Amino acid sequence: MRILILGGTVFVGRHLADAALQRGHTLTLFNRGQHNPDLYPEVEKLRGDRDGGLAVLEGRRWDAVIDTCGYAPRIVRQSAELLANAVDHYTFISTINVYKDYHRPRMEESAPLADDVDPTEETFKVETYGPLKTLCERAVEAVLPGRTLISRSGLIVGPLDPARRFIYWPLRTARGGEVLVPGTPDQPLQFIDMRDQAEWILRMVEAGSTGTYNVLGPDYPLTMQRLLEESKAVTGSDVRFTYVPASFLRERDTEPNALNFWHISRSDETIRQIWNIANAKAIAAGLTFRPLAETIRDTLAWDATVPAENKRPFGLEPERERELLALWSQQSAG
């Protein structure tokens, strides 16, 4: 197949490009050339900005397009309209942040969506990200009815993740000692290795499959305890885990993003539901998952190759972690 990827040189796009090339497809990448421009020397690259710079795509033809980087409804609609007669199939990478109410357990794809947002808002903000993605989905479906695949991703992890959201726990486990863990051992988790999502998307594109899917994993009840124990086994660490209520951390003004996987500012029940989204539809459509240990091992191996100056800061500073553990120990003893 001839496949056009909008993006293609950072994390999500790179794994999609890798999967497409491994499966023997002819690939074209469209982006501004600002990130990793020398990647894929064998691949056709078209340079341009999605906002007003789509002319380079005119007069061309592909079997399918995968849109990895659409956030503003106006801009996504422009791409969809230009490509409507140039492709047979349009995949849009969306997010589970489109859902309106996370208090609903095991939300399926038909759950109410958040759309209360100014459609002209184009500055990235956490509070508008999900609603704007809802409008992007609708724009694509309106322009290419019956020809769209919507992949609603949860937390995407694995090698190449520039946000390094997942790797905090394997790295902290490898360091050993006593580890502060928010919540309880049975805290549910959901995420997907981007390589698994990419391979599934390519299979769906090849089959011409359409529809909307929650694309997250795994296919068994994953808990925080299992993630930590798998990390311990992979790293061979002598680590000890101390679980601390999220309420304790909120009371001490712990930064919301200091402990990855948790939104400390939200209620414990909301946190549990965020990691409890239904994925049966995607699994029935062929979504598969590699072993958790493989994701841990490969992500650690990739991180070891990244220069220190290129690593985004994350997680609790060791001194702050020791301070919180001491306070928790005092409170528990009292």
Instruction: Mean pLDDT check: name the lowest of 2-11, 189-198, 249-258.
Output: 249-258
pLDDT digits (tens, 9 = 90+) for 40-99: 999 999 999 999 999 999 999 999 999 999 999 999 999 999 999 999 999 999 999 999
Both 69 and 6 in one domain: the answer is yes
Segments forming the whole domain that contains residue 61: 2-153
Query: Does pLDDT of 265 surpass 70?
Result: no
SS3 content of the chain, % helix, strand, coil (to 5): 40, 15, 45
Max intra-chain CA distance, the chain:
73
Q: What is the mean pLDDT of the chain?
A: 91
Both 179 and 96 in one domain: the answer is no
* Greater pLDDT, 163 or 68: 68
Residues paired with 89 in a beta bridge:
64
Which CATH number do you get for residue 25?
A: 3.40.50.720
Both 11 and 140 in one domain: the answer is yes
Residues paired with 188 in a beta bridge:
223
Contacts 24+ apart (CB under 8 A), 20-25: 20/202, 23/202, 23/206, 25/1, 25/202
Both 148 and 172 in one domain: the answer is no
| φ, ψ (nearest 5 deg) of residue 13 | -65, -40
Both 111 and 41 in one domain: the answer is yes
CA atoms within 13 A on the CB side of 270: 12
Both 249 and 105 in one domain: the answer is no
pLDDT digits (tens, 9 = 90+) for 165-218: 889 899 999 999 999 998 889 988 899 999 999 999 999 999 999 999 999 999
In a domain, 284, yes or no: no
How many domains does the chain contain in total? 2
pLDDT of residue 264: 47
In a domain, 254, yes or no: yes
Token pair for 263: 């939104």
Distance CA 289, CA 200 (A): 10
Both 20 and 141 in one domain: the answer is yes
In a domain, 83, yes or no: yes
State yes or no: cis peptide before 218, omega within 30 of 0. yes
Distance CA 206, CA 296 (A): 29
Both 113 and 184 in one domain: the answer is no
Both 137 and 13 in one domain: the answer is yes
Both 264 and 121 in one domain: the answer is no
Query: Does pLDDT of 273 surpass 90?
Result: no
Residue 84 to residues 51, 124, 125, 207, 210, Cα–Cα distance (Å): 17, 26, 29, 19, 15
CB neighbourhood size of 116 (10 A): 9
Both 123 and 64 in one domain: the answer is yes
In a domain, 62, yes or no: yes
